[in-house]
Amino acid sequence: MPNQKYTPDRPAKDSQANGEELRVIGVPRRRVDARAKVTGQTRFADDIFLPRMAHCKLLRSPHPHARIRSIDASRALAHPGVYLVLTGKDLPIEYGILPVSQDEQALCVDHVRHVGDPVAAVIAREELTAFEALDLIDVDYEILTTISDPEEALATPEPRIHDYGEEGNIHKRVALEFGDVEKSFAEADEIFEDIFFYQGSTHLPIEQHAAVATKDPDGKLTIWSSTQTPHYLHRALAKVLNMPPAHIRVSATPNGGGFGGKSDPFNHEIVVAKAALLLDRPVKICLTREEVFYCHRGRHPVLMKFKTGVKKDGSITGMHLQTLIDGGGYGSYGVASTFYTGALQTTTYHIPRYRFAGCRTFTNKPPCGPKRGHGTVQPRFGQEVQLDKIAEKLKLDPAELRLRIVEAPNTVTANYLRLSTVNLSECIRRVVKISDWKEKFRKLPEGRGVGIACSAYLTGAGLAIYWNKMPHSGVQLKLDRGGGVAIFCGATEIGQGSDDVLASIVAEVLGIDTFDIRLFTGDTDLGPVDLGSYSSRVTIMAGSAALQAAERARELLAEAVAIRLEVPKEQLRFADKHVFDSVVPERRVPFHEAVCLAEARFGTIGTVGSYTPPKSPALYKGGGVGPSPTYSYTAAVVEVAVNPVTGWITVPKIWIAHDIGRALNPPLVRGQVEGSVYMGLGEALMEEQEFRRLPKKLSHALVHKFPSMLEYKSPTSLDMPEVVTELVEEPDPRGPFGAKEVGQGPLLPIMPAVANAVYDAVGVRIDEVPITPEKIMKALAEKRAGRDPRCGPSHFPHVDWPEALRVPPPWEGGDGNAVNDVPRPSKPRPEKEKVLSS
Amino acid sequence: MMRLPLFEFRSPRTLEEAVRILDGQGPSTMPLAGGTDLLPNMKRRQQVPRTLMSLRHVESLRHVQLSDSGSRLGACLTLTDIAEDPRFRNGMTALAQASALVATPHIRNMATLGGNLCLDTRCNYYDQNYEWRKAINFCLKKDGNTCWVATGSSKCVAVSSTDTAPALIALGARVRLFSRSGEREVALADLYNNDGINYIKRRPDEILAEVLLDPLHGWKSTYWKLRRRGSFDFPVLSVAAAARFSTQGVVEDARIVVGSAASRPLVAGEASKSLLGRSLNPESIAEAAALAARIAKPLDNTDFDMTWRKRVTAEFVTYALRELRGNDMHVERESVTRHPLPQS
Amino acid sequence: MLITLPAESQKSAHIRIALNGEHVDVSFAPYKTLLEILREDLSHTGTKHGCELGECGACAVLLEGKPVLSCLVLGVECDSRNILTVEGLGLEGHLHPLQDAFADLGAAQCGYCTPAILVTAKSLLDEHPQATRDQIRAALSGVLCRCTGYLQIFEAVEAAMVKIAEQNAAAK
Ligand SMILES: Cc1cc2nc3c(=O)[nH]c(=O)nc-3n(C[C@H](O)[C@H](O)[C@H](O)COP(=O)(O)OP(=O)(O)OC[C@H]3O[C@@H](n4cnc5c(N)ncnc54)[C@H](O)[C@@H]3O)c2cc1C
Ligand code: FES
Ligand code: FES
């Protein structure tokens, strides 16, 4: 049986619905799509089989960096069973997720940038035939210098991997300063300088990316794809295929896991769309696992340097953070990722002055992008490990230190992020209590240890990728005479439960059951735009839109029922599939009758709702990344066991408390927390997106070390520790029914908590992720030799930083603008130049 | 979806029929047992046999005979058959443990003992898709001419990654090989070459039919396997140890075998010999551990850092010998395997 | 070279299997694995795949009651054999107690590993109606789940176990 019973913190009251007790929200429920999932009927993209369907395979570059001189596909085309071969010249228009990084081509035209970059596509009757025919395509390459990491990228301006970006192989450099940080260091009692490295990792959804495209009978295009962002795929297809968006329908099939890895428009999607249009028959592609590693867009490897000034009491006087980021071969979300490595440092603890400089380089590897916790995970690791070192030096308990410096709610931070509810202190107190922290910290026997860490995360990015004044999410509701309610929304189900969020909110407001609702989601033709399942935005944005649409529908029904029952409409309540008089509850009409009454009075009942995030006070350039309507908070304690001889490390137990605002469906929330813990633990201990550079004298090869499910180590059921989850619920006025995010935040504290626990266990610092037995053993050897008991990077290379944009913090008279920026042009600039967020 | 290449398929009913099919075909006809090694290799185009010959219907390959005068295990027993059969204990504990630690429960339901002993050697540069191998211009083991692990090497250094072979060698097992021209018996310790390509002395026309064990009265054995996760992963280092004790606890005979540290399981002869006539105490254990670690020469072609793997060798020998001595090793065991294991 | 044999040389193969308790005949390209036949030739898409190399477990089905990886079973080796997939779990229009428990207790997030985990758990409970947490963890260790962190899966298996025991007691 479930080992933890869910007990809400306070009686579920205060409703945005009925002013009464909540009947759906907060009650543990079977999610709406559960039946489909447990019967195997959920239709994932690769489960789609259409008559006459052909299969597509991509020929990928075997070289990390090369120019394409020529491609001869004639032998492949002549191969029996092959219908079509496409090459770069068939799809030359560039695209990319961000308007500032339109740097991808569906099939490379003349330049390949990593092993696995696609150069041609074969479409054939059988997948096996398409695969075999790949070998019949002759590509003549001119090999270019391989650039394998950021240091090499900084040192090798030529050849350029892209001919845009800052200069050489630097994609993006940013520098921001909020207050005079040098002065803050002068005021500090102690200065801490630390360098950390966070290794790249990948999403590894169990479902490999797949897409099926077909030309509709009326000549339009439909594509089903395992994408988290149908809206952005829609945009990219319209651009590259040069087709009116109105003639393209993108249907996001439920994703078999996404975690950020299916948030970019992908070359394979565009290729099958083009092929289906040309062949006038359905075309499917399903990537192999190796190819999924080439799509990647996962965690950026980040080298970072923290300099932090503190007072004796632990308060922070200022912080200077530098990050050097390995971007891989394309832009992807990288500009946003770069900003994100510096954006959220100020959201957990009060940092009065803050300077951040970040630099993303191109390298000849699959592009990095957004993975669960996008860009904020790496610096969070550094920050929380450094805090542990600070606490030790100041002789403070690290939990106590954190409690002292937690940022206050409803604050605007030094970098102009507006916080709403902040229950980090409560999270810390909870994990300290349930983990028995005070009995364990520095008290466990040698080889055992505990560590604590905290984090914050966005509840939806405050700014859209394309700046415009339109809502970020829209919902349409249709109510029919049988009492059925249909929800139409672009939101995409990736396993996180977005369909259930929509259904539960509508069901709560209308007093019906979630199973009385039909959902039409993730489809660009069927529902209004939702920007996608990324940045933990669905609950707050699509949820708020659903709330608005449902309230509008309730209003119509209430008005009609009020007349029938002859009571003031304010007196009506919606519950148990009825609309009833709250004073004399026996006076009531069934819900479906209420719909009929309303339809008779107002005509067909359909309502809409939409959501636009509040304006951010961050007006400086770059201020678009980081703002969110509200932030979730998490604290975690991790216990480790370390073998002092071999460094072998295991994690027996984790305690975690998450400030969720309100849990809409508690088992789902717990699942998100535990899933995040799981993924965090993988990153902490074993997962690595690692590459091999073959000896330069013999080869130019730079390959993914092990693009396989076997060698990329995702923890198994035997590796998962016991987890005790606590939810802290103070409804946030900005979230629907008070809900904040949970899909990403709980991942963040795990890695630093593991590192801090290792120090508690055996007294060595592993300033690098993953924390492997080899590294622990190395550090233990250092310790025994009387040297610095540490394993981690020792130097941060020189970067030519641009002059920082200086933005005085709110408490130094700032207004959110930079004082040294070129004045903003008054008329809107073309979309291309704008600063973006994700 | 990864697809198999095309192949001819044969499914003999008897061993005689099977060896007739193999006769004269050379390596292009391969026996297929559980398929858990061969089929992934075929999908990655590492091995592309023209003909697959299934052993599934050859009943005689699935017998078990355990008796006081020795044991015979059919090559097509599955690893689940072995891991879950309580008769494989005491002397044979190492075999049960090794079987229980292979891959995953699902794979053990399919995988056979014979297939495990004939398992292809493994290497990070070789166990990759066709496209990946193309990106490094292939390697010595298949289609290329450089060993990327040791570029100066003229010999392939792919790693013997079978779990049951080290365990069975520690138990002194022999195997029976059948071909059309007859049968032969080979000590398992002699079945392998330290060569990643020609790693096995089985001829392509031979079927490994059974594993033979002498009586194991008075023997105790154990198996320790290093891998990153609690399941799925191949061993990247393993230690099998077996010893026969006198009533006073003096070692009368001992065999320590180090697996996954070369292209073949390594018999730690000196380490084993150093224990003879002694009881297992901290000194004798430490000495044996140091001697055994000396022969392990892991290279950078598996998971984990190679110097660390070497360091763990000594530690694992220590664990194994302490366990044979009767120490309670369950804390170390659980920490390493995360897996409930057959105990002796 | 990727091309091994000319495709024309391959006549389609034919087998008869007992799929979820029903006899079915199927013809297929002889290189196909059980996974491909189930999904492509028998329209049973409930069985998933994440690697096709034995490395993820998403393709698990029960073969003669035991969990195996359908991506590593040749179709031509399946003649006359009993196969159970997620489509065959439910009983007379009802969900299997495991399915109910998974649905209610958050054990299926994206649902992609779910079919494999469900059939694996069924085989475990058939054999060990009173499985311990350790046995459950071990039995499920051949299927990766990237979403849940497994804990709610363990709990759902335990809840189903109780339910099945109750049902059996009631039936007696
Ligand atoms: C994800 C994964 C993880 C794995 N982990 C492990 C692990 O931890 N430890 C481990 O040892 N193995 C592991 N394996 C490899 C494999 O599953 C086992 O080694 C298994 O025992 C092989 O047996 P099989 O019957 O499936 O062999 P098959 O694949 O059928 O055959 C393997 C080889 O042996 C030959 N062969 C088989 N039987 C005979 C016979 N009787 N006579 C002559 N030749 C024969 C075949 O021709 C082939 O060359 C793993 C495999 C996978 C896919
Ligand atoms: S598909 Fe991954 S194990 Fe079969
Ligand atoms: S629920 Fe998504 S992989 Fe298990």
Tally B–C CB contacts below 8 A.
105
> Is the confidence at residue A475, as pLDDT, over 80?
yes
Distance, C-alpha A75 to centroid of its chain: 43
The residue in chain B having the minimum alpha-carbon distance to the alpha carbon of residue C6 is B6
Kindly calculate the radius of gyration of chain B based on its CA atoms and give it in whole angstroms.
20
Residues B83, A680: Cα–Cα separation, whole Å: 33
Domains and CATH numbers, chain C: 11-88 (3.10.20.30), 97-171 (1.10.150.120)
Query: Which whole number is the average pLDDT over A727-754?
Result: 97
- As a whole number, the mean pLDDT across chain B is 96
Q: pLDDT tens-digit profile of A119-133?
A: 999 999 999 999 999
Q: What is the pLDDT of residues A98-112, one digit of tens each?
A: 999 999 999 999 999
Average pLDDT over residues A383-405: 98
For B13-59, the pLDDT digits (tens) are 999 999 999 999 999 999 999 999 999 999 999 999 999 999 999 99
CB of A59 within 8 A of CB of A267?
Answer: no
- Given this model, what pLDDT does residue C4 score? 64
3-class secondary-structure state, position B255 = strand
Q: What pLDDT does residue A821 have?
A: 86
Phi, psi of B19 (to 5 degrees): -70, -25
pLDDT score, position C6: 63
DSSP A137-176: -EEEEEE-----SHHHHHH--SS-S-S-SSBTTEEEEEEE
Task: Indicate which ligand has the atom closest to the C-alpha of B102.
Answer: 1
- How do B8-10 and B51-54 pair as beta strands? parallel
pLDDT in tens, A755-789: 999 999 999 999 999 999 999 999 999 999 999 99
Q: Which helix (H) or strand (E) holds A599?
A: helix A591-602
C-alpha–C-alpha distance, residues A579 and A394, integer Å: 62
CA atoms within 13 A on the CB side of C131: 28
Q: What is the mean pLDDT of residues A486-499?
A: 96
Tell me the pLDDT band of B343, cut-offs 50, 70 and 90: confident
**A217: pLDDT confidence band, cut at 50, 70 and 90?**
very high
Q: Which helix (H) or strand (E) holds A304?
A: strand A302-310
ipTM of the complex: 0.97
Minimum-distance CB partner of B105 among C33, C35, C138:
C138
C-alpha A140 to ligand 3 mean position (Å): 42
pLDDT of A527 over the 50 cut: yes
Q: Decide if A174 contacts A821 (C-beta within 8 A).
A: no
Q: With contacts defined as CB-CB under 8 Å, which chain B residues touch A710? A: 232-234
- The per-residue pLDDT for C7 is 60
Binary contact (B9, C76; C-beta < 8 A): yes
Of A116, A288, A698, the CB nearest to B2: A288
Spatial contact of A754 and A685, defined as CB atoms under 8 Å apart: yes
Nearest CA in chain C to B230: C141
Residue-wise pLDDT tens digits, A64-82: 999 999 999 999 999 999 9
- Read off the pLDDT of each residue in B176-195 and give the average, rounded to a whole number: 97
Q: Where are the beta strands (DSSP E) in A398-495?
A: 448-458, 473-479, 485-489
For C26, the 3-state DSSP assignment is strand
Picking from A204, A532, A286, A745, the residue whose alpha carbon sits closest to that of residue C113 is: A204
Q: What is the 3-state secondary structure (H, E, C) of A755-798?
A: HHHHHHHHCCEECEECCCHHHHHHHHHHHHCCCCCEECCCCCCC
* Min Cα separation A117/chain B (Å): 12
Write the pLDDT tens digit of every residue in B64-100.
Answer: 999 989 999 999 999 999 999 999 987 999 999 999 9
Q: What is the mean pLDDT of residues B166-181?
A: 98
Q: What percent of chain A has pLDDT over 90?
A: 95
Domains and CATH numbers, chain A: 12-30+471-611 (3.30.365.10), 51-144+206-257+262-295 (3.90.1170.50), 302-463+620-791 (3.30.365.10)
- pLDDT-derived band at B338, boundaries 50, 70, 90: confident
Tell whether ligand 3 has an atom less than 6 A from the beta carbon of residue C108: yes
Rounded Cα–Cα distance for residues A109 and A365 (Å) = 18
Q: Is the pLDDT of residue A830 over 70?
A: no
pLDDT at A10: 39
Question: Is the CB of residue C67 below 6 angstroms from any atom belonging to ligand 2?
Answer: no
**Given this model, what pLDDT does residue B291 score?**
97
Residues A4-43 pLDDT 10s: 333 334 333 344 444 568 999 999 999 999 999 999 999 9
* B3 to A128: CB separation less than 8 angstroms, yes or no: yes
Percent pLDDT > 70 in chain B is: 100
Residue B17, min C-alpha distance to chain A (Å): 32
CA distance to A127, A666, B110, C98, per residue, from C64 (Å): 30, 38, 12, 19
At which residue do the structure tokens 């659903």 appear?
A546
d(CA B121, CA B199): 7
Q: What pLDDT score does B112 carry?
A: 98
Type of residue found at A729: E
pTM over 0.90: yes
Q: Tell whether the torsion through CA atoms of B298, B304, B307 and B311 is positive or negative.
A: negative
Give which of C146, C92, C94, C145 is closest to C120, Cα–Cα.
C145
Q: Specify the pLDDT at position A499.
A: 96
| pLDDT for position C92 | 81
Mutation to test the B interface, candidates C34, C72, C78, most B Cβ within 10 Å: C72
What would the two tokens of residue A596 be? Answer: 């009929």
Chain A: closest CA distance from residue B77 (Å)? 25
A178 touches A809 (CB < 8 A): yes
Candidates C59, C118, C146, C151: which one to mutate for ligand 3, based on the most atoms within 8 Å of Cβ? C146
Considering only CB atoms, which residues of chain B are within 8 Å of chain A? 1-3, 6, 124, 127-129, 131-132, 134-137, 146, 148, 151, 228-234, 303-305, 307-308, 311-312, 315, 332, 335-336, 338-339
The DSSP call for residue A581 is E
Contact between A817 and A806 under an 8 Å Cβ cutoff? The reply is no
User: Across chain B, where does the E strand assignment appear?
Assistant: 8-10, 29-32, 51-54, 64-67, 70-74, 174-179, 182-187, 207-213, 219-226, 237-245, 251-259, 266-267
Report the alpha-carbon distance of residue A22 to residue A10 in Å, rounded: 12
Average of pLDDT values for B238-242? 98
Complete domains list, chain B, with CATH? 8-57 (3.30.43.10), 219-344 (3.30.390.50)
pLDDT for residue B339: 74
Query: Scanning every residue of chain C, which has its alpha carbon at the shortest distance from the alpha carbon of A27?
Result: C104
Residue in B with minimal Cα distance to A718: B230
Q: What is the pLDDT of residue A1?
A: 34
Tell me whether strands A210-215 and A221-225 are parallel, antiparallel or unpaired: antiparallel
Q: Is B162 left (phi over 0), alpha (psi -120 to 50) or beta?
A: beta
Average pLDDT over all residues of chain A: 95
* CA C59 to ligand 2: nearest atom: 4
Per cent of chain B over pLDDT 90 is 96
Tokens matching residue A124: 């054939």
* Inter-chain residue contact B303 with A643, CB threshold 8 Å: no
Contacts of A35 in chain C (CB under 8 A): 95, 103
Whole-Å CA distances, A634 to A283, A413, A454, B158, C121: 44, 18, 5, 45, 33
Place of tokens 């672009």: A490
Using a 6 Å cutoff on CB, does residue B210 contact ligand 1?
A: no
- Percent residues over pLDDT 90 in chain C: 91
Contact list, C134 vs chain B (CB under 8 Å): 340
The Å distance, Cα B113 to ligand 1 centre, comes to 8
CA distance A328 to A704: 12
Nearest ligand to the CA of A679 is 3
**Which chains does C contact via 3+ CB–CB distances below 8 A?**
A, B
pLDDT of residue C10: 74
Report the distance separating Cα A520 and Cα A503, nearest Å.
11
CB C52 within 8 A of CB C40: no
As beta bridge partners, residue A144 has: none
**Hey, which bits of A45-198 come out as E strands?**
54-60, 66-72, 82-87, 111-112, 118-124, 138-143, 170-178, 190-198
Residue C3 structure tokens: 């091309």
- Do residue C31 and residue B231 have CB atoms under 8 angstroms apart? no
Give the span between the Cα atoms of A119 and A135, in whole angstroms. 13
Rg over CA atoms, chain C: 17
The closest alpha carbon to A18, from A515, A504, A570, belongs to A570
- Nearest Cα to Cα of residue A613 among A469, A802, A415: A469
Chain C residues in contact with B5 (beta carbon < 8 A): 2, 4-5, 31
Mean predicted confidence (pLDDT) in C58-66: 98
| Residues of chain C found within 8 Å of residue B58, distances taken between Cβ atoms | none
How close is the Cα of C146 to the center of ligand 3, in Å? 5
Find the ligand nearest to B2 CA.
2
Name the pairing type of β-strands A631-642 and A448-458: antiparallel
